Amino acid sequence: MPTSVPCPTCGRPVEWSPASPFRPFCSERCKLIDLGDWLDESHRISDLVDATCEDVPPADESPATH
């Protein structure tokens, strides 16, 4: 029994098999809509600069030596 996943764009079920050439999308249309969202930056991966960590010194500072 093939696995079914929801299309990331419209939510319709997509069979995860070679019979579905646009997987994980249900169609070329949904695939292109998603690509357009990435190109106009509606989707983006968050910038690591926004994250702060107290354990890591800034790049211009070297750790103190004892």
Q: Give mean pLDDT, residues 42-65.
A: 65
* Per-residue pLDDT at 66 exceeds 90: no
Q: CA nearest 31: which of 14, 55, 56, 48?
A: 14
Domains and CATH numbers, the chain: 3-44 (3.30.50.10)
In this prediction, residue 64 carries a pLDDT of 60
Q: How confident is the model at residue 57 (pLDDT cuts 50, 70, 90)?
A: low
Contact 8, 32 (CB under 8 A): no
In this prediction, residue 35 carries a pLDDT of 94
Over residues 9-45, the pLDDT tens digits come to 999 999 999 999 999 999 999 999 999 999 998 888 8
Contacts of 27 (CB under 8 A, 6+ apart): 7
